[in-house]
Amino acid sequence: MYFIDKLHILPIIICIMANYLSELSLALRKARKQTGDTQAMAAARVGVSRESYRKLEAGEPGVAVSSWIRVIELYGRPENLQFLFSKSLFDD
C-alpha cells in the first residue's frame, strides 16, 4: 500500500519539478543575457553543444545534471542547485 500511495503523488512531483526547471531556465537565460553571452558562447563555456544548451534554457527534462551544475556555476547562482536535488519520492 505504501508504494501505491507514493505512485499516486508521482504526477504532482513531476509537475512541481517541471515548474522548478522552468524557473531555473528563466533565471539561466536572464543571467546569460546580462553577461552579454550568446547561447553559442555559453554552450562552449559549459562544454555542451548549442542544442544541449538550448534545452537547458528551455527547461527541457533529460539534460544531464552535470550540465546544469556547470551552467549554474558559470553564472554564479549556486542557490539554484536546490532545484536539481529535491527530496526523493521514496524518502520519509
Q: Which residues of the chain have pLDDT under 70?
A: 1-18, 77-92
For residue 27, what pLDDT is reported? 85
Instruction: Give the three-state DSSP class for 77.
Output: coil
pLDDT computed for residue 43 by the predictor: 95
- Report the pLDDT value the prediction gives residue 69, as an integer from 0 to 100: 83
Q: How far is CA 20 from CA 3, 35, 82, 91, in A?
A: 25, 23, 10, 19
Cα angle 86-52-82, degrees, rounded to a multiple of 5 = 15
pTM: 0.68
- The pLDDT score that the predictor gives to residue 1 is 46
Give the model's pLDDT for residue 40. Answer: 96
Rounded Cα distance between 54 and 13, Å, is 24
Q: What is the pLDDT of residue 51?
A: 95
Say if residue 55 is exposed, middle or buried (CB neighbours under 10 Å; 0-12, 13-18, 19+).
Answer: middle
pLDDT at 60: 85
